[in-house]
């Protein structure tokens, strides 16, 4: 069985994990166009090479980020999302895109 390293639980069988899709910035649901929202929900880079993705360790409901190679099937690095998201991302339907902090949240990047 292929092993994935869970940042919380250590090495585990890959069958314990669920693939969650590409890490990408979420547009503001309240203000973005339908096209932007569809682009975010459905369209993918689907790269052949190194990708950065959300993964879930199902038994412990723990989400983390994995970098892996989609051609060689190598898992390069796994890490806690706090490495990327320095502050809590609020998913409010109210718009706060006017502020710089709001913009940062939407881009999914911390300081």
Residues 6+ apart with CB under 8 A from 103: 97
* Shortest Cβ 98–other proteins spacing (Å): 26
Q: Which of 10, 11, 34, 90 binds other proteins (CB under 8 A)?
A: 34
CB 28 within 8 A of CB 106: yes
Provide the β-strand partners of residue 79.
65
Using CB under 8 A as the binding rule, whether residue 87 contacts other proteins is answered as no
Residues near other proteins, by CB under 8 A: 1-2, 14-15, 18-19, 34-35, 38-39, 42-48, 51, 70-73
């Amino acid at each position: 069985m292929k092993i994935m390293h869970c940042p919380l639980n250590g090495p585990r069988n890959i069958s314990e994990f669920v693939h969650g899709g590409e890490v990408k910035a979420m547009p503001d649901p309240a203000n973005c166009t339908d096209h932007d929202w569809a682009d975010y929900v459905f369209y993918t880079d689907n790269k052949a090479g190194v990708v950065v993705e959300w993964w879930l360790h199902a038994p412990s409901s723990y989400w983390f980020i994995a970098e892996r190679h989609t051609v060689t099937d190598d898992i390069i690095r796994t890490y806690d999302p706090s490495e990327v998201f320095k502050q809590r991302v609020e998913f409010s339907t109210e718009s706060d895109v006017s502020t710089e902090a709001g913009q940062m949240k939407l881009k999914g990047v911390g300081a």
